Amino acid sequence: MIHWLQKETGGLLVLCGLAIAVLLVLIIRVKLEPFIALLISGLVLGLAAGLPVGRLVGTALKSGDSILETGFGGILGHIAVIIGLGTVLGAILEASGGAEALTRRLLSTFGERGAPVAMGLAGLIFGIPVFFDIGIFVLAPLVYVAARRGGRSLVLYALPLLAGLSMTHAFLPPHPGPVAIAGLLGVDMGWIIVMGLACGLPAFAVAGILWPMWIGKRVRIEVPADFVVEESDHRPVSLGLVGAIIGTPLLLILGATFSTVWAPRAAVTPYLTFLGNPSIALTIAVLLAFWLLGLRRGMTGTQLAALTGASLKPIGMILLVVGAGAFFGKVISATGVGAALAGTLKSAGLPTLVLAYLISCGLRVAQGSATVAIVTTGGIVAPLVAADGLSQPRIALVACAIAAGSIIASHVNDGGFWIVSRYFNMSVKDTLRTWTVLETILSLVGFTMAGVLSLVL
């Protein structure tokens, strides 16, 4: 029986299905940390598929080229610096009051009637360098202020902000999911930015503007009576300065991507390629933030060092999850499961982009973590992408489809669900009616845009 599973296409697919089932049981029922569950599932799949132990985990004398180490090391070498620098950049923007300055300026520009749109734009812009939960923590008080002044449901102001934060978290670097899937699929980060914006912005418009306008009239959530507006002790920050610091790494990365496409032999291209490397671009942005938002505004080197250290502490588990997911994907490739799946799909006529979305959706709904859904799906479909010989833009669209699937139907097994419920004074029922539907709309529209673009590129 085991021999048949190791050799036949159907058997390999069954083994893959069983490994994913083990993964979900370990996360959902046993409550193991996802990175441990991914590690165990990858080892089980490798051993069941007959991979030699030396190739899987190495030997006492030689382990550096094992699947375990190359799986972890390969992806972490790609993403660790990017995620770390992005986290530090977001922490400086938060500590300097840049988010507050941005949001207050947008609110004053759009006025009372346009306050929901202002909150959505604040989520989009501030969400680029800042994790989803940090964005809520920093901006939620301003949502309360806008809702109290406008006299309408808190839902109308909170959902646009949440849509902006969620879109950037799912589709744009330097967030862990987009960075990880770029490494797993081998696509340039510039194309991830371009296609992430092309798929994510329409999704934000529908989920973050149209949906709140409709549901905000039907779900009435009041600002808590004990909410008190606290005066900020931050000195005013220039909105242009905040925008320039956030935009600098994106423009540098895009410059490198398109210089290699449009002028690969131009004298300036090597310089643009260097500056547009994501690690270099983010280092430049962090140094600008240290100087312009830190030292020039009275922060000491010691304070900046403490801020940097504190901001980096939460990313350890994220990196472990991504590394374990990459190992799981390497095992899938080494066992021949990827090739078997590719052959099955070609005979069935199901496009890789559609399969990637469906797998990501299933993993998201089952276990709740968007990051686990992304890295697991990336490992499964990476051999299919390689076999299809897709161009960089089309690979980026597959990445967007995976990202879209990873945010669908947020419910009670997702930590983000409870953060939204707690911060915006909503019951479980109201959170399901507002936030869960928002995430599903964001997912469906983002995937639809990826599908449409894949037909014309």
Q: Tens digit of pLDDT for each residue in 159-203?
A: 999 999 999 999 999 999 999 999 999 999 999 999 999 999 999
Closest CA to 199 of 448, 8, 30: 448
Q: Tens digit of pLDDT for each residue in 394-423?
A: 999 999 999 999 999 999 888 899 999 988
Give the per-residue SS3 of the chain: CHHHHHHCHHHHHHHHHHHHHHHHHHHHCCCCCHHHHHHHHHHHHHHHCCCCHHHHHCCCCCCCCCHHHHHHHHHHHHHHHHHHHHHHHHHHHHHCCHHHHHHHHHHHHHCCCCHHHHHHHHHHHHHCCCCHHHHHHHHHHHHHHHHHHHCCCHHHHHHHHHHHHHHHHHHCCCCHHHHHHHHHHCCCHHHHHHHHHHHHHHHHHHHHHHHHHHHCCCCCCCCCCCCCCCCCCCCCCCHHHHHHHHHHHHHHHHHHHHHHHHCCCCCCHHHHHHHCCHHHHHHHHHHHHHHHHHHHHCCCHHHHHHHHHHHHCCHHHHHHHHHHHHHHHHHHHHHCHHHHHHHHHHHHCCCHHHHHHHHHHHHHHHHCCHHHHHHHHHHHHHHHHHHHCCCHHHHHHHHHHHHHHCCCCCCCCCHHHHHHHHHCCCCHHHHHHHHHHHHHHHHHHHHHHHHHHHHHC
> Contact, 53 vs 341, CB < 8 A?
no
Asked whether the predicted pLDDT for residue 4 surpasses 60, the reply is: no
Asked whether the predicted pLDDT for residue 236 surpasses 70, the reply is: no
Q: In which band, very low, low, confident or very high, does the pLDDT at 142 lie, cut at 50, 70 and 90?
A: confident
Q: Tens digit of pLDDT for each residue in 88-98?
A: 998 888 888 87
d(CA 378, CA 356): 8
- Calculate mean pLDDT across residues 105-132: 90
Task: Give residue 121's pLDDT.
Answer: 94
Q: In which band, very low, low, confident or very high, does the pLDDT at 27 lie, cut at 50, 70 and 90?
A: confident
Q: Tens digit of pLDDT for each residue in 46-63?
A: 888 888 888 888 765 565
Asked whether the predicted pLDDT for residue 232 surpasses 60, the reply is: no
- Calculate mean pLDDT across residues 438-456: 97
In the chain the first and final C-alpha atoms are separated, in Å, by 45
Asked whether the predicted pLDDT for residue 10 surpasses 80, the reply is: no
d(CA 142, CA 149): 11
d(CA 292, CA 242): 9
Is pLDDT larger for residue 374 or for residue 234?
374
Q: Distance of CA 116 to CAs 45, 150, 155, 443, Å? A: 48, 10, 9, 21
Asked whether the predicted pLDDT for residue 145 surpasses 90, the reply is: no
The domains of the chain are located at: 5-456
Average pLDDT, the chain: 87
Say what the pTM is: 0.89
Q: In which band, very low, low, confident or very high, does the pLDDT at 5 lie, cut at 50, 70 and 90?
A: very low
Is pLDDT larger for residue 308 or for residue 314?
308
Task: Give residue 172's pLDDT.
Answer: 95
Q: Tens digit of pLDDT for each residue in 360-385?
A: 998 899 888 898 899 889 988 888 88
> Contact, 199 vs 157, CB < 8 A?
no
> Which amino acid would we find at residue 24?
L
Tell me the two tokens of residue 451.
């599908």
Asked whether the predicted pLDDT for residue 275 surpasses 90, the reply is: yes
Task: Give residue 137's pLDDT.
Answer: 86
